[in-house]
Structure formats: structure tokens, C-alpha cells
Amino acid sequence: MNTNLENFCPKLRPGRVIPQGSRIIFETDNPYNQIILPMALADLVLLCSGKFSVREIVEKIYKKQGAVPFRSILMAIHVLHQGGFFENGEELTLSSDLRSWMEPRRSRWNLSWRFGQRIVADEKSPTTYYLATLSILIGSILGFQLFPSNPLLMSETWGAALNKWEVVWKLFVASSALMTLKYCIRGWQTILLTGKAYNVALRLSPWGIHLHVGNEANDLFENRLYTVMFYVSQILVPWACLYMASFFTTSAELEPLIVMAMAITFWEMNPFVNSDGMRLIQALLLPNDRDVASWHFESNQLIDSISPEQRQRDQDFGRLCAIWGAIWLLMSFALLHEAAITFGPTVLQNISQFSMNSIIPALGLIAWLAGLYQVVQALVETVAASLIRPHWRRVRHHLKQLQARTHDEWPTTEVVAKIEDLPLFSHFHEQYLVKVIEKSQLLKFDAGSVILREGDPARDLFVLLEGELEVIRMGRNNESEWITELGPVSVFGEAALVDDQPRTAQAVSKTAVIALRVPVQVLRETALESQAIRHLEDFRNAILVNQFFASSQVFRSLSPSSIAFLSSRGTLEYYDKNQLVFLQGDMGDSLYLILRGTVAVTVHQTTLKHLSQGNFFGEISLIANVARTATITTVEPSVLFKISADAFWEVLVRHLDLGVFLETVSENRLREDLEFAPLPKTGTDSE
């Protein structure tokens, strides 16, 4: 049975949770594996027994802690799932975006006999590690003296002098020896640096029979310099081994080692596999606390609206990988090309003879073809990732526009079908709705047209049927202030129905737009005639609230049932100009949505910013379970929608991505506060 993330009941493999300082280590028994998580997630790990869904776990954590670190929880589930810590990981069905980042590691082409689950040293020795790694790097540089001027020619000359089976045997032995030495050194380095080495095994792989040490201890690296040194030394370590071997062996015995050292180094620089080179880029570019939250969002709107710095960092990382990937691919093509020229005629000639001597050349040809396949596949992936995917959304958008219909193709029945579920029209019976539409006008606007102008008398409201528009208004300093962006099907200009004030904002079409202009008078008359609306005040309030949810970039991604739930649990509050909403330091028990008006955010007596219609505040106290971190005062008469903490959390556990989003918004807001608001001189109990 496949389930989505919220309904997934994670069941961890049998193991134990070891608390250590502010972290916990979760260790599985067989095979031995471990992961380090923040102590704040201990409850999550302990609740992963298969009994509770992620939604229930989040709810339980909220009830217990009063706050939920959404992003950490999603990241933890991500790494646990990817690391294969869940027994039922295959049950988790992810959206296509999520799937690519969260699928578990695939099994490799190897056979292992694990004989050491965990080797623990009494103490770490970073200084010895530093000196040892430095020696390896110096040895590698010295070992590069052995690098042949023409590697393929050297290989050919060496291979020609020997029997084919002898060549294979010598390469096999050389590869096994080099890999064993590499992993011995790796294990020694991890023990020196972290005091531990995990999953020591004897392995049969395409690299021969060799010792293998798991990467699990690498998660314990804390110093970036040491981490970078580790991976660089691991890429180059075959050359240090060669340099050492050069003192004891003849040049003829050294040749297979040189061939394999080149192959191993080249492979470890491959950015398309989980190689040491790839890990080196990560260690250089991605900090340990990197935020992968944006990868979890299904909604592009949410991705666009959070954490631009982190997205930029991810993009930079992707670009560097693409550049590295392109260089590696060029080298690979050059190598394959050279190999084809150097060995091709001989290999084909041998194969065509169909004798025992053909086996080895045939295997060589297969290896060459496999290499070509890998390189082409990697090339396709690089092109897809760096060229097509970033532009795909734009292409899709244009395709959508091409599909857009003209306004002549909108029969009344279809307009009815489109708008009958809108909160504003849901009160009307179909016959009254038809009446309203017949008295309304279907309009088409080109991109960039001003549909509503600020200050104009408000006599109509509009229903956006197709296209996109943005709502802007002039700020206090005569600067245009972006309020929101609307897509089909949504209502705008509805203030005309609520009060008789002139337009407070202007609507400008971003694309070609088809909109239904509904005269307010017609709507009022029909409302009275239909008798569906008994209390005009309630109706107005419902419109205000529903319009907020329909137009808010953040909240419109919620399901209709969640919006209905929040709408039913909140209360409208009316504030005059300069009225206090709450004080910094008050206990926070509610979230506020700004339906109308503007509020000022003041931290330590410094007014930092204004929040306007369509925005929200008060979320920090609810998510982090702290007192209010700012004082909120209205700048103009405002209408706020107050949602209680319980109702808010009930919706949040159903929409984890909204939780992650609000957590990120809260963090960004607090960072701004810290940057611009001076701390009080009297001192705080800051820790």
C-alpha cells in the first residue's frame, strides 16, 4: 500500500537511540548503520514505530512540546528514508518532485562479507589525522611523477608484451591491492578523526577483491578543512601508494598499478555517482546545516516565495556540478575516443577470429560500450538538469497561454460551472447565478492592461476566469506596493460590495486576461431577491475572509476543507488607526491575517516594517512556542482575522509544507529583526 508523506506510518528498523549531548545517535543492529540527529527530534525517532502517521507524529510532538520544528522533521524523514532506515520505506509514495530527492540508495554491484560492524578507538586524534593526511597528499604529489606522458600508449605497450589473461590477472591484483590500501587508509583516517569506523567488510566488486570501510563515520566529520583534506586525499591516495611501491618494485611491476591508479582516480572524480569527488564538492559548497526544505515543496508558489539565498546556493551548487560534469564528460569522451583508436582495430580483429583469445577483447569491448552508455546518459542528465529543467516552467506557462481560449468561447453554462464554487457565489441558486451572469459583461484584457485603477469609484466586482494579474497599490511614499497575484478563478474588486469607498488598489493583467465584470447593484438585487443571504454583515465578513484565502499566495494552496475549517474557527477584529494589536512579550495564542488595512511591526521600540492586506503575523509565537517577538500596531483602520492556535495547528498537521513555509518565513523575519532592531540596553536574558 502506497501512501503520501502525511499519511505515511514510518517504521524504523530495530535499533537503539543513544542520547549524546544535544544530539541523538540512532543505530540499527543489522546491518550496522547509524545516523545523528538533533535531540529535538528524539520524539520523532521514538514515535517511528509504524503505529502513527507523520501527521499524527507531528500532532503528538506539538501537543508535547508546544512547537514543531517542521523543517527538521521533514529533513529527518528525508535522510532516514534515503539512508534506508525505514523498514517500510517503499510504502512512501512521493510526488514526482519529491521522489527524485528522497528515493533510497540503490544496492550496488558487489558482494560483501562484513566482519567488523564497528571499530571504536579510545580517543580521537585530529592532529595525527592532519599530519597523516598531509603526508598522504605530499606522497600523492610525489607519486604523480609516475604519471605517464601518454597513458593509453603506455597501457598498450605494456599489454602487448603479455598474454591477455595475464593482463587481466595483473590488473585484477593491482586493483585489489590499491583499493585495499585505499580503504585501509580510509579506515585509519576516520578512526583518527572521529574515533570510529563502520561496516568493515571484504568485498567483491568490479574493482576486485578488496577491503571496504563504510562511509557512515563521515557524517561525524565536524571540521570542513579536515573533511576536504579527507576527500582530496582519498581521490589521490592511489598515487601515494604508487610512490611508496616505487621503492620496492620494478618499473614493469609498477605498470599495472599505474593503469589502475589512473582508473581509480578518474572514477573518484566522477560527479555522476556518489564518488569522493562528489562528496568533496558537497563539503566545499554545502554547509552542514544546509536547508533542503525547498526540495520538499510540491507547490512552485511556495518554492518561489521562500529563502532566496538558499535557493541561490542550491543553484550555484548545481551549476558547479554541471561545469565539473561537463569537464569530466569531455575527458571521458576523449578517453573513449583515444581508446577506440588505440585498441579498436586490434580488438575487432581478435573478436572476429572467434577463438578463446577473443574473450578478453570482447569483454574489453563490452566495458567500452558500458562506459560510452554511462557517459551519454550522464550527458543527457547534465543537459536536462542545467538547460531544460530551469526553463521548463516558462515553456509550460507559454504552452498554457497558447491553449487559452478567447472570450467568445465562454458559454453561460461554463461560466456558471466555473464560478458556482466561489465563496461569493456559493450562496446563490443556479437560476439566480445565470441571472447575474446574463447581466454581467465578459471582458478581455491584453497583458499589461490596467483593469482597476486606484481611487476610481467602485461599482463592479470582477471574476478572473483566465489569465493572471497582480494587485498593486501606491504606498505611503508614492512607491507602488505589490499586494498579491491572482490566477483563475478568483474574485477581485470585491471591496465594492463591502463598502462604498473608492478602489484601494489597482489590478494589472500580467498575461491576456478574461474577466467577468459583475455590477454590484445586480449582485445586491439578486441577493435580496434570492433571500439566500439573511444577514448582510455576515455575508460581507464571509467575503472578506474567503477573499483573503483565495488571493493569498501562501494560504490558497490549502485544501478547500482546511480553508473552510480555518474560516469557521477564526474571528473578525476591527481596529482603528494606531491601535495596539499585541505587545512584544505577550503570550501568543493566535495568528492574525490582514484582511484590510496595514499594521506596523515594532521590535524594541524600532518600527521595522509595515504589513499590508493579504499578509499575516503572529505565527512565530505559535510555531516556536515563544512570547510575541514584536509589537503590532495598526497604521490605518484595519480588519484582522484572528485564528486560534488550536485551529491553526489542526490545519498545519495536515499541510506539512505550509508548516515548513511558515517556519521559514518566521526565521527570515526574525533575522531581519535582529539585523535592524537594536537590542535594549538594559540587557535581556538572552542566552
Tell me if the bond preceding 411 is cis, omega within 30° of 0: no
Question: Which amino acid, residue 321?
Answer: C
Contacting other proteins (CB under 8 A), which of 289, 409, 479, 537? 289
* Distance in angstroms (rounded) separating the CA atoms of residues 415 and 422: 12
Nearest distance, CB of residue 322 and other proteins, angstroms: 8
Q: Binding residue for other proteins (CB under 8 A) from 83, 159, 187, 423?
A: 83
| Under 8 Å between Cβ of 533 and 446 | no
* Binding of other proteins by 683 (CB under 8 A): yes
Sole window of 98-106, 149-157, 296-304, 428-436 interacting with other proteins (rule: CB under 8 A): 98-106
Under DSSP, is residue 606 helix (H, G, I), strand (E, B) or coil?
strand
**Beta carbon nearer to other proteins, 35 or 595:** 35
Does position 309 bind other proteins by CB under 8 A?
no
- Does residue 148 contact residue 258 with C-beta atoms inside 8 Å? yes
Task: Report yes or no: 48 and 35 within 8 Å, Cβ to Cβ.
Answer: no
Looking at 324-474, which runs of residues are DSSP E strands? 441-445, 450-452, 460-466, 469-474
Q: Which stretch binds other proteins (CB under 8 A): 148-156, 266-274, 449-457, 545-553?
A: 266-274
Q: Which is nearer to other proteins, 281 or 340 (CB)?
A: 281
Is 96 a residue that touches other proteins (CB under 8 A)?
Answer: no
Q: Which of the stretches 107-115, 477-485, 512-520, 626-634 binds other proteins when contact is defined by CB under 8 A?
A: 626-634
- Contact between 582 and 601 under an 8 Å Cβ cutoff? The reply is no
Binding to other proteins in span 414-473, by CB under 8 A? none
SS3 562: helix
DSSP annotation of 32: T
* 686 touches other proteins by CB under 8 A: yes
Chain length of the chain: 687
The one-letter amino acid code at 572 reads: L
To the nearest whole angstrom, how small is the minimum distance from the Cβ of residue 293 to other proteins? Answer: 10
Looking at the DSSP bridge assignments, the partners of residue 66 are none
In angstroms, what is the C-alpha Rg of the chain? 32
Report if residue 327 touches other proteins, rule: CB under 8 A.
no
Q: How many residues bind other proteins (CB under 8 A)?
A: 101
Query: What single string gives the DSSP state of each residue in 402-435?
Result: HHPPPGGG--HHHHHHHHTTSTTTTTS-HHHHHH
Q: CA-CA distance, 208 to 215, in Å (whole number)?
A: 19
In the bound state with other proteins, the residue whose beta carbon lies nearer, of 47 and 185, is 47
Residue 23 binding other proteins, by CB under 8 A: yes
Please choose, out of 112-120, 274-282, 395-403, 428-436, the segment that lies near other proteins by the rule CB under 8 A.
274-282
- 276 lines the binding site for other proteins (CB under 8 A): no
**Distance between CA atoms of residues 273 and 296, nearest Å:** 22
Contacting range for other proteins; rule: CB under 8 A; set: 45-53, 233-241, 362-370, 564-572 = 45-53
Instruction: Candidates 171-179, 247-255, 268-276, 593-601: pick the segment binding other proteins (CB under 8 A).
Output: 268-276
| Backbone torsions φ then ψ of 594, nearest 5 degrees | -90, 105
644 binds other proteins (CB under 8 A): no
Site for other proteins in 201-230 (CB under 8 A): 215, 218-219
Question: Which residues, numbered 363-392, are part of the site for other proteins (CB under 8 A)?
Answer: 381-382, 384-385
Q: Which residues contact 225 (CB under 8 A, 6 or more apart)?
A: none
Site for other proteins in 582-611 (CB under 8 A): 583-587, 603-604
Please pick, from the candidates 122, 309, 537, 687, the single residue that binds other proteins as defined by CB under 8 A.
Answer: 687
Q: Does 42 bind other proteins (CB under 8 A)?
A: yes
Per DSSP, the three-state class of 116 is strand
Query: Does the protein bind other proteins through residue 15 (CB under 8 A)?
Result: yes
Regarding 623 and contact with other proteins (CB under 8 A), the answer is yes
